[in-house]
Amino acid sequence: VVKPDFPWFYNFLGDALAQKDRLKDAENCYKEALQLKPDIAKLYDKLGEVFVKQDKLDEAIATYRDGINLKPKIHWMHKKLGDILQQKGSLNEAIISYQKALEIKPNICWAYAGLGQTYLLQEKWEDALNCFVKALEIKSDYNDVYQKIAHILQKQGHLEAAEACKTRRELPSWLAVN
């Protein structure tokens, strides 16, 4: 058996295996690549994604944290960690991760949407609305955000505004995007 001493070989093989849903094999390839070259942040991301697809959330969290410890200024690593923490129900930790992503790069609509969703799960309606509106300021055609805003407006009893938001993507004037 030939074992190349080349991390990109394992990276590309891992990519091909992940595409074929051979997730355990892809996981092993990414781990091998990281053994050879542990300073490539993208490998932590790929390994983390494979863990998420296998519903190994604790391993995914640990992997993203390792990647963040290596390269703390990569905004998308913090955002993805926030997504996993939110999925796991660790909402306060998810908030911290999303906020860190936004501190590094303030105009990420996905991080605002993730942060807004976390606040929505905590039923912190105003915080959620603020985040969703910021997401729309960056990406005005973000349909999922309109749906979430409509949900909050409905919870708050603003039924007409909720319907306008849901069906016509219209925000009430008191919530309008600048």
Q: What is the pLDDT of residue 95?
A: 99
**Helix-helix angle 23-36:41-53, to 10 degrees:** 160
3-state secondary structure 116-171: HHHHHHCCCHHHHHHHHHHHHHHCCCCHHHHHHHHHHHHHCCCHHHHHHHHHHCCC
Q: Which helix (H) or strand (E) holds 31?
A: helix 23-36
Take residue 135 and report the two structure tokens written for it.
Answer: 């997401």
Q: What is the pLDDT of residue 143?
A: 93
Q: What is the pLDDT of residue 178?
A: 60
Question: What is the pLDDT confidence band of residue 5, given thresholds at 50, 70 and 90?
Answer: confident
pTM for the predicted model, two decimal places: 0.91
Mean pLDDT, residues 51-71 taken together: 98
Which residues are CB-neighbours of 123 under 8 A, at least 6 positions away?
none
